[in-house]
Structure 1
């Protein structure tokens, strides 16, 4: 089966991390490699209608976008599990809008 990779960020605007996202080798595999399925997960205050990086994510082959902004930790865990994400990367670390602490651990299927 395909490996599902989630890229989680509190901001998908043109911030420090976001500006370099398009150059990440792993991200560039999204949409170009049949064995990888990519998810963009939004946890912050980004207006998803005006998020240039989410548009870029779709243009670069992100298969799915999950909006976790107004969800509880338990609901976020449920959505991540439901998507079957195998690898979850927090691409912005501890910064404004980021949820303190890791999301609840998604147990192996």
Structure 2
């Protein structure tokens, strides 16, 4: 156990990684909207993949906001981070396969 980093170090590392990844996720959301405008003539179409990408963005925005303004650390912050990760898994493993839409493999969108 002595070889493992402390809970505080893990919490800080998690925050730093999310602070780097959030702008990248924001870019994917904006770039996807621009691509959709060029491909389909609309920025937003309420496709399940688009909606869940936005849900993920909101959860991680909430995480960063809670950390920066409310001082959430430890279990509360980890819970939000895990909720964001669960949303990502749902988006890639469930939405892609079982939801019909422009981005899905469940059927022709």
Asked if these proteins are the same fold (TM beyond 0.5), I'd say no
Structure of higher CA gyration radius? 2
Normalised TM-score (structure 1): 0.25
With normalisation by structure 2, the TM-score equals 0.25
Name the one with the larger helix percent. Answer: 2
Specify which structure has the higher proportion of strand. Answer: 1
* Higher relative contact order, chain-length normalized (CA < 8 Å, sep 6+): 1
